[in-house]
């Protein structure tokens, strides 16, 4: 809260502190994303130019690498697998459980839940989102908006992987004096499916082990963990 005794600089500092307090998780992950993309771009450029020297072709600048299909296919192939992971996780945890895991509902509590439990329609609170109160198609859409958004980003990034991967693959084929692939030929190629499946399997491994590890292991203070002293067989803190 600002007062009449605060200077404009103090008001700005107070506002920044409030933004940090309310959004620190998103800010830190955003900064980490930028740092890792920067690291990937430098390492990728070095690797690309090493291959170029071996093949006897011209090396490229960082800017040219950042605008190349080689850089973007490596970027989006990881993005699509992450959004697939979370889309599947959000959907499957509606119906499937893992007893004792903080990542799961209680056994026997599966399903979409009632309108009253979900605060929909006449059960909505005064501060509930408008579409939760509206009823009809708007409430139906909003009830699945998280999966719809995550699924749409997955499909878009997977399509971007296909396009950029096709361009990158054809650049290599032309260097080897081979005929370029059409996008449909590339979609059936080993390069496309190797890139896709090696990411998918790693995401399934990560989310599956997290669900199991959360039964027996703890991280004090994390909302992704049960309280340290809670028994292994208890699925949620309110059971």
What is the rounded distance in angstroms from the CA atom of residue 131 to the CA atom of residue 125?
A: 12
DSSP state at residue 235? -
Is the alpha carbon torsion for 149, 150, 151, 152 positive or negative? Answer: positive
Cα–Cα nearest to 68, from 195, 165, 179: 165
CA contacts within 13 A on the Cβ side of 181 = 22
End-to-end CA distance of the chain: 39
What is the rounded distance in angstroms from the CA atom of residue 84 to the CA atom of residue 93?
A: 14
Res 237: pLDDT: 46
Length of the chain as a residue count: 239
Res 32: pLDDT: 94
Give me the tens of pLDDT residue by residue for the chain, a chain 239 residues long.
455 577 776 777 778 888 888 888 899 999 999 999 999 999 999 998 988 888 778 888 999 999 988 898 988 988 999 999 999 999 998 898 888 888 888 888 888 888 888 888 888 888 889 888 888 899 999 999 999 999 999 999 999 999 999 998 888 888 777 888 899 999 999 889 988 998 899 899 988 888 888 888 887 788 788 878 878 888 764 45
**CB distance 25 to 51 below 8 Å:** no
Tokens of 77: 């192939």
Res 236: pLDDT: 67
Residue 64 CA: distances (Å) to CA of 71, 165, 167: 10, 17, 15
């Amino acid at each position: 809260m600002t007062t009449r005794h605060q200077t404009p600089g103090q008001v700005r500092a107070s506002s920044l502190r409030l933004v940090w307090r309310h959004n620190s998780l998103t800010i830190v992950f955003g900064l980490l994303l930028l740092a890792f993309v920067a690291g990937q771009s430098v390492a990728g450029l070095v690797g690309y130019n090493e291959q170029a020297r071996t093949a006897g072709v011209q090396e490229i600048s960082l800017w040219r690498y950042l605008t190349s299909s080689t850089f973007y296919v490596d970027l989006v192939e990881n993005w699509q697998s992450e959004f697939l992971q979370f889309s599947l996780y959000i959907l499957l945890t509606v119906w499937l459980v893992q007893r004792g895991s903080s990542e799961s509902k209680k056994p026997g509590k599966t399903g979409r839940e009632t309108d009253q439990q979900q605060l929909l329609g006449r059960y909505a609170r005064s501060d509930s989102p408008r579409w939760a109160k509206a009823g009809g198609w708007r409430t139906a859409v909003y009830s699945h908006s998280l999966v719809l958004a995550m699924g749409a980003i997955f499909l878009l990034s997977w399509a971007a992987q296909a396009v950029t991967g096709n361009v990158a693959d054809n650049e290599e084929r032309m260097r080897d004096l081979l005929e370029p692939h059409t996008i449909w030929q590339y979609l059936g190629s080993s390069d496309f499916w190797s890139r896709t499946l090696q990411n998918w399997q790693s995401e399934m491994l990560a989310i599956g082990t997290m669900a199991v590890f959360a039964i027996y292991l703890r991280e004090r203070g994390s909302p992704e963990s049960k309280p340290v002293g809670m028994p292994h067989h208890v699925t949620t803190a309110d059971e």
